[in-house]
């Protein structure tokens, strides 16, 4: 019998490969109804507007994180103040008494406590910022919101914690003979500039930490080294006067952003810490670091917005 030839079955339609351009008609339909690509990074201006619209979420989330931090401790929120005070006590014993860094530094205890509180603000902002994305993947993957809300809220929580500590610092200053003067008002611009700097740096670390979670284990060593170079326990002014160090070392010590913000706070609060002990152009340094870290950190974080929580 003659054999009949069966025509080959038509090949199944293939779905468009990821990354290929969508159908022009579908694109026009989506644009007509205001639809956008899911998870796409908005423009920088639109991203900023979204952040501003979620400002109440940022402040509420910061307060909630700060409250939950010490819920399991019997002393609760008191640990916000006790922890930096205990650190200051240890540094006073080791550095001030045993090593003798308090020699030549009038009002050493206010000098030390101010430095510890200010650097703790920087250190905690960077540490929590490093884990802002990697430590909150469930939230990042479940909800759609500007991811910059997380590092900003963590830095805001650290600012709230510092403000609690500032009340204790004021008591310590009064106990050691420091009388409130108009210079105390300089605390406001100094803290504002440091907050902007801390937030920008936290955003940089949040992006790096989102891809390299092990970075969070390395940061305590980096921050401890940074603290030792920032004049928390000793006077950088006395170090520079007493030794003939290379010019580059002097520039690095004076331009160190942590040391700059610590010096401004000491200048504002301690009578014996005068303008002669401040590095040249200290306010320009403080503003420049805040502008550089704030703008660069924000843009750097925004550029990876669509990649957070994936992979």
Give residue limits of the domains in the chain: 74-307
Check residue 30 and give its pLDDT: 58
For residue 12, the model assigns a pLDDT of 46
> What's residue 227's pLDDT?
93
Under a CB-based contact definition with an 8 Å cutoff, are residues 57 and 149 in contact?
A: yes
The pLDDT assigned to 176 comes to 87
Which residue in this structure is represented by tokens 């403000």?
Answer: 163
Query: Mean pLDDT per 10-residue run, the chain (311 residues)?
Result: 49 48 64 60 91 93 81 64 81 84 87 92 94 89 90 94 86 88 93 97 95 89 93 86 79 90 94 86 94 96 88 58
pTM of the model: 0.84
């Amino acid at each position: 019998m003659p054999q009949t030839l069966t025509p080959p079955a038509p090949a199944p339609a293939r779905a468009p490969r990821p990354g290929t351009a969508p159908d022009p008609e579908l694109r026009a339909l989506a644009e007509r109804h205001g639809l956008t690509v899911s998870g796409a990074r908005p423009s920088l201006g639109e991203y900023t507007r979204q952040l501003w619209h979620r400002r109440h979420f940022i402040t509420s989330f910061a307060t909630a994180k700060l409250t939950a931090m010490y819920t399991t401790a019997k002393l609760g929120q008191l640990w916000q103040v006790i922890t930096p005070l205990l650190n200051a006590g240890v540094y006073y014993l080791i550095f001030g008494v045993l090593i003798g860094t308090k020699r030549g530094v009038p009002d050493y205890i206010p000098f030390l406590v101010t430095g510890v509180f200010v650097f703790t603000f920087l250190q905690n902002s960077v540490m929590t910022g490093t884990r802002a994305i990697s430590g909150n993947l469930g939230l990042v993957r479940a909800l759609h919101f500007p991811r910059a809300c997380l590092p900003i809220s963590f830095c805001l929580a650290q600012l709230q914690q510092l403000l609690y500590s500032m009340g204790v610092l004021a008591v310590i200053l009064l106990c050691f003979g420091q009388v409130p003067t108009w210079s105390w008002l300089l605390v406001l611009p100094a803290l504002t500039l440091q907050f902007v700097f801390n937030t920008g740096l936290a955003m940089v670390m949040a992006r790096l930490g989102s891809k390299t979670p092990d970075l969070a284990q390395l940061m305590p060593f980096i921050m401890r080294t940074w603290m030792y170079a920032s004049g928390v326990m000793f006077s950088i002014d006395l170090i520079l006067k007493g030794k003939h160090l290379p010019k580059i070392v002097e520039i690095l010590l004076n331009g160190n952003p942590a040391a700059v913000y610590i010096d401004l706070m000491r200048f504002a609060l301690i009578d014996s810490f005068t303008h002669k002990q401040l590095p040249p152009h200290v306010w320009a340094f403080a503003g420049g670091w805040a502008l550089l870290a704030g703008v660069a950190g924000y843009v750097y974080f925004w550029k990876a917005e669509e990649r957070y929580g994936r992979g």
